[in-house]
Structure 1
Amino acid sequence: MSGARQAAAPGPRLYDRTTELAAVARLSARADAGAGGVLFVTADPGEGRTALLARAAADFPGTAYRIAAPGHRAPWSGARALIAALAATPSAARRALRRARGGDGLGAAVADLVATSGSGSESGSDTAPGSGSRRSVLICLDDLHLWDAHSRAALTASWQEPGRHVPDRHTPGRHAPGGRRDLGGHAHAGRVRVAWLVSAARHHRFPDVPGAETVRLGRLTPAGGRALLSDVCPVPPAPWVEGQLLDEAAGHPGVLTATVRRLAPAHLAGTAPLPRPAADGAVLAEVYGGLMDRLPADSRRLLAVVALAARTGSGGPDAPTNEVGIDAVLAGARAARTSVEPLDGLIADGLLHRSGATLRFEDSFLGRALLASATGSDAGPTPGRAPDTVLARSEGHRADRLGPPAAVRALTPLVRGRNQLVRGLAALAGGPVMDAHEAFLEAAELLRERAPTEASDARFLAMEAAWAGGDVAGCLAALHGGRGARGTERDFADGLSAALAVRLDEARAALTRVVARDGAADDPRLLLRAGSAALVLGDTTAAARVHARALARARAEDRTALLPRALEHLAYAELRAGRYSRAARTAREGLRAAELTGQDNVAAHQHAVLALVASVAGDGQAVREHAGRALSTARPHGLVQAATLAEWALARDELGRGLAAQATARLVPLVRPGPRGGHFALRMLAVPCFVEAAVASGRSAEARAAAEEYAVWAAQGIDRPAPAQLARCRALLAKGEESAYWFGEAVRRHDSCGNDFERARTLLAYGTWLRRRRRPGDARGPLRDALVTFERAAAEGWAEHARSELRATGGATGGASDPSVARELTPQQQRIARLVAQGATNREVADRLALSPRTVDHHLRSVFARLGIRSRVELPGVVGQWGATPGSPPREPVVPRTWPHEGLA
């Protein structure tokens, strides 16, 4: 985006714009009279919005600023460019931007800047400052629809705020007497009056601003078209040439001008035949390419379906598009797997017109431009991005009916490549992912020379499809095609190939460059690539940050079809980082987005993420529900990654419910190497869970073999929690005090890995190990820490497990009975209860108190009945709350113990 002050040169010549120029003149008069105001200008592409703003700035008697369309939509980029155009110095611009983003708002920042910017040589205005003189300022904002949402909202707030007053720069003090500043209110001597002339595309909805006027630029009359033609033609056109050009342009100044630019003088003079049509696909792509590129992807695809359906009844791709029945559009959308959700918005924006049960383009040139871009005409702007590749797919179906030889002749390689790209997208969204992989590879080869950017996207999508399918060879095949590229694409291909071949030292340098470069980009596809690289490196924090940025950019650019994928990547990154509540929130949003856009495979992955989060929370019913829905899609579509996550979630739930043997049987295929095992990138991540289940179910030999392989993987340093989880595995497999050492080492390593849930699981396992070895005092510390962490993580199932273990040690868990119940027990019963709560058996209590085991059992049953509990497991939680009660003996002495590893107490 750039700003320019008023130029001395005259503005461009305009034709048939008498009404619009009159509206500009009224705005200027209001500014000169101190009333200011806002004038909105809207038009289709190429109809002259920018030319009108340039003419208005040239004709304005005061100071005029022109702010062009932004090159990107980073937050506050528009406000920053506006302020930079108005500010005299960079420091003034920085101060104004801080005000605009703070409580004062953009209106106050602009008010001060226009008041202090001056005139004469400083502003480029011919209006000299004078004491008590009135100065007027015109700010022309072009293409408001391309501005970022933050800046648009700030501008709207400033326009809607009445009674703003701006002091003249020569007024003493920061503000004018009385502190009033004017952005378009009353006339005040020595003050600046600001008028706003704002243009936007026809599909943009202007804000409601009191007193604002809106004008719409229309098409030229034949007389206006001839006048424009005489200006833009390098040689006078022959009469019949002039007639044909005017007919084809249909009064559209942009189409007429672009057509003339592509003709040779011989064409204009009539000595060479004109192309048929003269306003061909290249012309329309030049005029409408920007609009098509910036439409949301799902809207662009739906418009392409409408254009194709309309062409079917018009006799050919160059004939004017006719009305088309809504039923035909809905059928075409289903065939192309395109959402019809944007239809109402396209009608409301004026891109489509609905009359009863039929639709038509308000601007027939837009429908022709969509067709031309999709069918491979020699149009300039980024082929295929508008209208993506839906029409290419439809053309492919038409060619298929002709038979293979005719199909090859009917389609150019560019269209065939886009055809395969669409087939791949459809399969990736809701079909077998390896079908998508093959389609993307073929698309990348066909587009390699003709559309390199699309070819790059196809390779990355082929890699994603193979990754989802758990196919290492497929990933390498997709990456191999990118080795001829340069920059971060080459780094990504080389780095990920090295990682898949377990050459991690070689992979780190290349993938780190990808994260650094693409992670700072504005393009969502590059950000998704950078986030994937960060995950391979094991930097889950960076992966979550980059994928969150990709999601923000996809939202800012209204790329509805890309949102489910961005949410899928972010949910998985949050899951890997141990941020389970964030992962659940993102996955739920991603699930809704995937269901709305018909992306069943993305929905399956989000269900798998939600199943794993539910296994953390201990919600068995949610685990089974989400895992079941994930597997119902993952199995027939070959989604090995989603299936592995879902099975892992089920196993964790079974382990939490004490079903260790069942969990082990479920995990064995997930940790087994080879094509019949789990996903290659998740296999090692599931090993700690497998070791815990296998040890508990008596399969220690298998657990030990898996742990040894896990040790080699953990040493690579690509998963931060791995060293701590390896120590936990060794603690579970060790004997005697060696287990105590490894538990202590695991907790120490957890302190630096950042995954609190896994740390709590280690503490729970450690506390349980201590309690079972009759060391309840030592067990309470780690069990209490585990309980607090589980409660903070809302992991209620695991928290209840920790409470149960803590009660068994005699530790308080927050649910004990009233201490007065001790008075209901006899002194002997109190003694027995305290000893049993400390972990003593009936025989040990009998020996201690010189009683028979049967007597101890009788007293213990009475204790249970009086306290309202059912087992000795609940007794420690009750006794721990008693304290010293009247008539009861002091507590039995307990020999204190410390944790076996230094620093863990």
Structure 2
Amino acid sequence: MSGTGLVNRVAERADLDDMMAALRRGESRVLVLHGAAGIGKSALIGYAGRAASGIRVLRAAGYESEMELAFAALHQLCLPLLDRLPLVPAPRREALETVFRMRDGAPPDPFLVGLATLDLLSGASEQQPLLGLVDDAQWLDRASAQVLGFVARRLLAESVGVLFAAREPVPELRGLPEREVTGLTGADAHLLLGSVAPGPLDPHIRDRIVAETHGNPLALIELPRGLTALQMAGGLGLLHAEALPGRLDRSFAERVRDLTGPARLLLLVAAAEPVGDPHLVRRAAESLGVPFDADGTGGLLVIGTRVTFRHPLARTAVYRSASAEDRRTVHRALAEVTDPHDAADRRAWHLSAAADWPDEPVAAELERSAGRARARGGLAAAAAFLQRSVALTGDRSRHADRVLAAAETSFQAGEAEQANALLGALDGPLDDFQRGRSGVLSGQIAFAGGAGTAAIPMLLGAARSFAAVDPRRAREACLQAWVMANLAADRDSFVAVARTVRAIPVAGPTGPLDLIVDGLALLVTDGWAAAATTLREAVRVIGDIPADEMLRWGWLATAACGAIWDVEGIRAEGLRQVRVAREAGALQVLPYCLATLGYALTWTGEFDAAGAAIAESELVSAAIGSPAPPFTDLRLLSLRGRETETAGLIAATRQSAAASGFGSGVTTAGWAGAVLYNGLARYPEAMRAALDAERHWEPFGSTWLLPDLVEAASRSGEPEIARDALGRLVAATEPFGTDVAAGLRARTRALLADGDEAESLYREAVERLGRTRLRPELARAHLLYGEWLRRRRQRMEAREQLRLAYEMFTAIGMEAFTERARRELLATGENVQRAAASTPGATLTAQERQIAILVRDGCSNAEVGERLFISPRTVEWHLRKVFAKLSIASRRQLRDVLPAGGVTG
């Protein structure tokens, strides 16, 4: 046995020593140790703590009885650093203060809490390397597990390490570096067994014991306790058919049974008290007439600054082997000595564990605890409190409301099956409001389970239930149904939603969102002309939408702008939504706001800025573990003309759409294909892609792709298809007098016109689009006009238009259209060199490019880190790589190698 207290474990110790060395060098390391109970994970955690000389060690552990208390483990880990909280930027600091009950406030985004934790750890590591040791991670409360998983994935160039130990995979830690801890083998297992055996062992018996225990160190140490030399020599009393965890549990339980009654009761008090607070344990024990003394506990209990067990399995065995009556007695005693103000939630949980029949006061207290947990962002904890509250409800008039609250919160916490089971427990008649709540939740559960369009009737039924008692909630149910209809791109669903919207009166004064909803509903049921006035008025007052509603329904504002062909409005709204989401720390919403902004920037030809928005959206999505659809990326790639990349993403999007049943993916992929192949002058392929997109329908994408369908069909010799698409485009654009609508309509009509009419339309298109920001569409107007002139043998005039198109496409970065314009110029007799396809910085990763752009535009490392959810030291680490790839030596040189390309923030 080594001086470390560990037998062998050479490889594991080497990993941990490497981790400590990396932290001292200023690097980050994360490792998840996983393996069976008793396999040695806690011993390795202890080794890491001893090996961390010169490193500040923070500790936390998961407790089975504390899993319902939100952020309990995170508080353990961060408690020694809370004096540094004033140095964390707001609103991140406020988020952490809220979850730690240091201030009152709205429930913070859990990922904002993660950023605050990252700031806290990163800042502290500038003074001294940090090591976080998290044992029994399988019992972490979910809120803490989410935050710690988030932080672990963001660590890179900080002197921060996190070492987790878990018996089984923890979903929130999935994907982190890990090492399986297995049993001891050969001589090591025999050495350990020999050190605890009461006498010499027959080699065959010894081999069998090692094999039966799989070399589990705890089993080798604990199972022989209390056995005689004769029992060990014969292999009796140790070997059983049951699984090893059960044998260990039974072994500890047998040791507990051999103790005196008071000692067993003291152990049970300690097992039921999750904090290990010696004062609480003492007071509860004394109230039960039990001496507070570890001497009689057979070495299972250690009383110091905290009350701890020899091993977590011992705690589990103590609690599980106790009678139900004893457990209730102990929890009642703990509730009596737990502070009702500072530890109200823990007290409520003890009271619930002490009850074995309906108890209305306890149920009400659990309901209040759920409210406090929700206010701190602990949805999983709130769900647990509410579920227990339902079980203890004595007032039948409160039962349905508590079931619905528990089901809603369980669903929000990611427990869809539990939410559905709770809905199934509803009994007795429901009023309209309760039916509405039940219907909304049923629809959300169905949608989350992949039943896309099937969820829409449930939501619309809920809206009708709400209509008489709460019209505002009725509208919100319709909006949720609209989201699902939009994803499904299903015309019948849109019609059903729109009709329901129009049947529900607006409650109170008409606001911007009401105008938008009414306008979109009119568009679906009565057409563009009928909806025009309402939609124009809605767009005029979009700026009046409050920030909190913008975060929930901001996509509606951009939808209204798109409906009236107002790209400038989409761009302005995208910028506003990104700003609001950043200021509020709404990380769940931010990727979609960035994608919306990126989409608008593709229309205006600001491709670098669009790429930066897409990259940031992807970075945030990866950070929060919620990938967003690649629709904006598809749009940008298709306009750039990158065939291989676009075709690959189109295929992946189609596959995802087929698996999910979301037709919006088919529409987006088809539109991207139409743009790509029009740029490549492969018109039949472009037409097929556009027609495939039309297999599904949604009000905006299905309309905005019509110019590409008309172009592809007219060039493929399919005039009927082209005229049909043109008719739909005219109907969708004529009610709106914007230059965008008129310019696109004129350009598209010109494709099917002849002679002077065609020329007049092309000139109108160039003039109208020239007054907008839509540089790609203006360049395409010049290209089509030039192609038309060349076919009429007006070479000089054609060259003028084609040269303008070529120069614009080159400047924007539309490679396929650039080559199409070059070939047309060659056909007029003008010699044009092929444009270079590469751009400065093309070898940078998405994150490196985003960092380089932000630094180029004057952001400090701290500002970049705040934008991209990484530490300033990680920004500097990335910058060194950027400088090496671009062969530059300073931040100032970024302006030369990466010229400004538009909006970045």
The TM-score with structure 2 as length reference comes to 0.50
Q: Which structure has greater helix proportion?
A: 2
Q: Which of these two proteins has the greater Rg computed from alpha carbons?
A: 1
Kindly indicate whether structure 1 or structure 2 has the higher relative contact order, using CA contacts under 8 Å at least 6 residues apart.
2
